[in-house]
Structure 1
Amino acid sequence: MDEPRSDLDARLAARLRGLRTAQGLTLEALAQRCGVSRSMISLVERAESSPTATVLERLSAGLGVSLAALFSPEHREDASPLSRRADQRCWRDPGTGYRRRNLSPPGFSSPLELVEVELPPGSTVAYDSIRVPPLEQQVWVLDGTVVVTLGEAVHRLAAGDCLAMRVDRPVAFHNPADHPARTLVAVSTGARA
């Protein structure tokens, strides 16, 4: 479901603020951890700015959570294990147009999260945060071609190819084609099953 931008920004703002305060972090402390300015974090937490994928990735790394966790509510014991397509949240990066759809049931505790990603033609989404602990994920290309650069290693993936990777260095995803590329990304969350 493509939510109106203002609703998604408000949801993201509340989740970010909740994660930060749950960890006892001030705006300044989170800014120092993730390399995003205090003023930008404040704007995002007040839903006055639509952050790019790069800013969100830095914030998630600073909070020690996956990017998908910024779009999902806290785990709840009563959460449904079913996620209907009509209820799945979509977010579009205002910088690149890249779109991500959280496929996993919101609030359901699971050791993995599934995300569908669509990269527009010619786009590149790069993440430069070094995560501690590293993030484990697999990228399966559904349609198109995606070039994944993990540190110095470059992998050109076509439809049907799957890359398992430990994200412990900068990573970039590039669509070299003139049509969209779609991937399924499985992220290990470390949460209990």
Structure 2
Amino acid sequence: MDINNTIARRVREFRDVQGWSLDALAERSKVSRSNISLIERGQSSPTAVVLEKLATALGVALASLFEDASSHPSEEPSPLASAREQTVWTDPDSGYVRRNLSPGVRSPLQLVEVKFPAGQRVAFDNGMRDAEIHQQVWIMEGAMEITVGDEQWRLEAGDCLAMQLDRPIVFRNPTRKSARYLVALSKFAPSDSRSHG
């Protein structure tokens, strides 16, 4: 499975659901129309920062862009995601590797494993979305510095940090060893978020 083709299909699907033209998505995401066009044709290897801008504009979690959700649209998705079928993607800028662990079944919860290289940094501009997305990061190996808005934490193995994806977030590995962590994401629709408030 070519991950760029999966990303291409998912971006097109989410844009179609919104009923937006390329120009409309470009305006909302601040990603150029030509860049989005290349991504949707599977002719680009977009960075994590670009994909996060698109996901934010489309109102979905970044992990949703890596789901191979429509390979067999008439079949019920399997509740099992075997390791060999899990989507693996590498950010061309930082070299961080993300593995989508969750199966394709409809669920408010998504799990992602990340391997983050030593000395690297990725900054996400997370803006407001139509849906409320919460995330928890659990460090399995190494250490990470995570900045959410104006607050910064240093996380060591075993530490877990909860955040909402509504402010800029920076992930940084300040050490000389790679880090590995689990990300759990949950999404609430606007009507759900009021009942959880």
| TM-score for the superposition, normalised by structure 1 | 0.91
Aligned to 1:126: 123
Which of 28, 31, 52 is the matching residue for 1:33?
A: 28
Which residue type is aligned with residue 131 of structure 1? M
Deviation at 1:189, TM superposition (A): 2.6
How far is the alpha carbon of 1:8 from its aligned partner?
1.2
Deviates more, 1:51-60 or 1:67-76: 67-76
Tell me what 1:63 maps to.
Answer: 58
Aligned length: 186
1:98 and 2:96 aligned: yes
1:117 aligns with 2:86: no
1:68–1:113 contact (8 Å) kept in structure 2:
yes
2:132, 2:188 within 8 Å by CA — same for their partners in 1? no
Structure 1: gaps spanning 5 or more residues: none
For 1:19-76, what per-residue CA distance to the aligned partner results, in whole angstroms no more than 9, with x for missing partners?
Answer: 1112111000001111111111001011111000000000000110000000113486
SS of the aligned residue for 1:189 comes to strand
2:7 to 9, 12, 29: 12
Q: How far 1:188 moved relative to its partner?
A: 0.4
Q: How far, CA to CA, are the matches of 1:180 and 1:95 in structure 2? A: 16
Match of 1:140 in 2: 138
Partner SS state of residue 95, structure 2 = coil
CA distance in 2, matches of 1:116, 1:179: 17
Q: How far did residue 168 of structure 1 move?
A: 1.4
The 3-state SS of whatever aligns with 2:188 is coil
Cα deviation, 1:73-110, whole Å, max 9, x if unaligned, reads: 348671111111111110000011011000000x2111
* 1:137/1:164 contact within 8 Å kept: yes
d(CA) in 1 for partners of 2:186, 2:54: 18
Query: RMSD value over aligned CA atoms?
Result: 1.7
Q: State the 1:129 CA deviation.
A: 2.7
Name the amino acid aligned to 1:153. E
CA distance in 2: counterparts of 1:131 and 1:187, whole angstroms:
16
Aligned to 1:156: 154
Q: Report the AA paired with residue 23 of structure 1.
A: Q
Matched, 1:178 2:176: yes
Q: Are 1:112 and 1:190, in contact at CA under 8 Å, matched by a contact in 2?
A: no
Cα deviations across residues 137-191 of structure 1 (Å, max 9, x unaligned)? 1000000001000011001000000001112110011001111101100000338
Contact 2:6 2:67 in 1 (8 A): no
Unaligned runs of 5+ in 2: 193-197
The whole-number CA distance in structure 2 between the counterparts of 1:176 and 1:130 is: 25
